[in-house]
Amino acid sequence: MEVVSNISLKAYNTFGIESTARHFVEVSSVEELQELLRLQEWKNTPKLILGGGSNLLFTAQYDGLIIKMNIRGIELVEENDEFIWVKVGAGENWHEFVMHCIEQGWGGVENLSLIPGTVGAAPMQNIGAYGVEIKDVFASLEAVKIDTVQRQTFSGEECQFGYRESVFKTIYKGQYIIASVTFRLSKHPEINTSYGAIEEVLTERLGEVGVKSASIREVSDAVIHIRQSKLPDPQEIGNAGSFFKNPVVPREQFETLQQQFDKVPGYPVSKNEVKVPAGWLIEQAGWKGKRFGNVGVHDRQALVLVNLGGAQGEEVKKLAYDIQQSVEEKFGILIQPEVNII
Ligand code: EPU
């Protein structure tokens, strides 16, 4: 474990933004992490935990210690006739883990194929796509409390998962470092094709009857196809996936919007609340495909902001702010970033 100083963060964030870290260290085991946290030298230094860097935007040099999580390993911890429990190191790449599950025939994460980032970051914001969220396959996680350096296990209930939310983003923000996550996966997978786009792709590929008996690999392939057709590959165009969260509005507000904009899409999330796709709001406000210097709004999914090359974090932040303002003016809805702005 070696702490290095003044290193470039360009390769460590999928936006591809040039920034520097005052101090940077990689940890490869939970013991190593605890050893680092016990060092008096770093006790009062601000810390940033880095996974795949796929959900953050650097707007300035980071004047603290960046801890890059490199804890690896996929370990089978329990099984019965129906399920298998696997404990996965926080530093494992999420998509590689999903591919491993598909090869082994373990079902539950196939809809979450191709999501950038690491396993340890996934529960932080309860990652989700195409009708599935990590909470659906979550068993428990192990985290280290930064101030006491104690290990602690969290059940799903204790994580208080919500839409792109958990206690690690709210009441315990900045207090814990996730070291591993245990998933409960199915040996006899039941596929979830409730999301329209998956059903469409599978029907095209397998026919209407075939959809019902699609394998987890076929579902994963369909998800990969959909994502590749809409979302820019961060290797080619810097981005952090959805920049904003989809806003949830009271039903009455949604009904008022429907009177003004008859095509406004919405998905009820409870009796009194409706989720509105931020991508639609942004597109209607005229931003889709727009470019401003080194930054822009993706032309196939307006929820994604892109670095067209050499962008500064501040430029992306300014664009996000302008979009936020214009959406609020047009629709009276304040959309909030999903990405962590540092
Ligand atoms: N839409 C538009 N214009 C756009 C984009 C979207 O009109 O430019 C409307 C359409 O009505 C479309 C609807 O929004 O039917 C939903 O779009 P999409 O299926 O692309 O999903 P999303 O709600 O925009 C969310 C997640 C994505 C996830 C997809 C699929 C959030 C913030 N984003 O996007 O997650 O892949 O659903 O489940 O919840 C991410 O978090 O980085 C991410 C990519």
As a whole number of angstroms, the distance between CA 24 and CA 198 comes to: 41
pLDDT for 85 beyond 90: yes
In a domain, 218, yes or no: no
Residue (of 160, 158, 320, 326) closest to 240 by Cα position: 320
**pLDDT value of position 26:** 97
Res. 212 pLDDT band, cuts 50 70 90: confident
In a domain, 134, yes or no: yes
**CATH number of the domain bearing residue 244:** 3.90.78.10
Amino acid identity for residue 284 in this structure: Q
**pLDDT value of position 273:** 96
Q: What is the pLDDT of residues 98-147, one digit of tens each?
A: 999 999 999 999 999 999 999 999 999 999 999 999 999 999 999 999 99
- Start-to-end CA span in the chain (Å): 25
Residues 243 and 321 occupy one common structural domain:
yes
| 238 CB-near residues (< 8 Å, 6+ apart) | 14, 15, 16, 17, 306, 307, 309, 311
Per cent of the chain over pLDDT 90 is 97
Instruction: Pick from 95, 113, 231, 280 the residue to mutate for probing ligand 1's pocket: most ligand atoms within 8 Å of its CB.
Output: 280
In a domain, 230, yes or no: no
Residues 152 and 87 occupy one common structural domain:
yes
Geometric angle at alpha carbon 238, from 231 and 16, rounded to 5°? 155
In the reported structure, the alpha carbon of residue 225 is separated from the centroid of ligand 1 by a whole-number distance in angstroms of: 15
Beta bridge partners of 153: 142
Q: Could you tell me if the CB of 303 is within 6 A of ligand 1?
A: yes
Residue 171, token pair as written in the block: 């009441």
Alpha helical stretches, state H, 177-299: 196-212, 216-230, 251-260, 278-284
Q: Mean pLDDT across the stretch 273-288?
A: 97
Q: Mean pLDDT across the stretch 13-31?
A: 97
* Nearest protein CA to atom 16 of ligand 1, as residue: 277
**pLDDT value of position 262:** 85
Residue (of 28, 42, 32) closest to 147 by Cα position: 42
Ligand 1: atom nearest CA of 301 is 8
As a whole number of angstroms, the distance between CA 303 and CA 300 comes to: 9
As a whole number of angstroms, the distance between CA 33 and CA 20 comes to: 22
Ligand 1: atom nearest CA of 129 is 38
In the reported structure, the alpha carbon of residue 196 is separated from the centroid of ligand 1 by a whole-number distance in angstroms of: 12
Amino acid identity for residue 213 in this structure: S
Q: Could you tell me if the CB of 159 is within 6 A of ligand 1?
A: no
Q: Mean pLDDT across the stretch 15-40?
A: 97
Q: What is the pLDDT of residues 42-66, one digit of tens each?
A: 999 999 999 999 999 999 999 999 9
* Location of structure tokens 């806003």: 247
In the reported structure, the alpha carbon of residue 246 is separated from the centroid of ligand 1 by a whole-number distance in angstroms of: 8
In a domain, 98, yes or no: yes
Residues 102 and 59 occupy one common structural domain:
no
Residue 321, token pair as written in the block: 């702010």
Beta bridge partners of 61: none
Res. 68 pLDDT band, cuts 50 70 90: very high
Instruction: Pick from 110, 244, 303, 304 the residue to mutate for probing ligand 1's pocket: most ligand atoms within 8 Å of its CB.
Output: 303
* H or E element at residue 318: helix 313-331
Res. 276 pLDDT band, cuts 50 70 90: very high
Q: Mean pLDDT across the stretch 83-108?
A: 98
Q: Mean pLDDT across the stretch 79-104?
A: 98
Structural domain boundaries, residue 265 = 238-341
As a whole number of angstroms, the distance between CA 241 and CA 301 comes to: 10
Q: Could you tell me if the CB of 245 is within 6 A of ligand 1?
A: yes
**pLDDT value of position 1:** 87
Query: What mean pLDDT is reported for the chain?
Result: 96
As a whole number of angstroms, the distance between CA 261 and CA 274 comes to: 15
**Contact, 73 vs 89, CB < 8 A?**
yes
**CATH number of the domain bearing residue 20:** 3.30.43.10
How are strands ordered across the β-sheet holding 74-79? 74-79, 83-89, 176-186, 138-145, 151-155
- The total of structural domains in the chain comes to 3
* Nearest protein CA to atom 31 of ligand 1, as residue: 245
Using alpha carbons, list the distances in angstroms from residue 301 to 10, 117, 216, 220: 24, 19, 26, 20
Q: Mean pLDDT across the stretch 187-213?
A: 92
In a domain, 201, yes or no: no
In a domain, 139, yes or no: yes
In a domain, 153, yes or no: yes
pLDDT for 14 beyond 90: yes
Q: Mean pLDDT across the stretch 266-274?
A: 94
* Nearest protein CA to atom 28 of ligand 1, as residue: 129
Per cent of the chain over pLDDT 70 is 100
Residues 165 and 249 occupy one common structural domain:
no
* Location of structure tokens 């996965």: 88
Active-site annotation, residues: 164, 242, 338
In a domain, 107, yes or no: yes
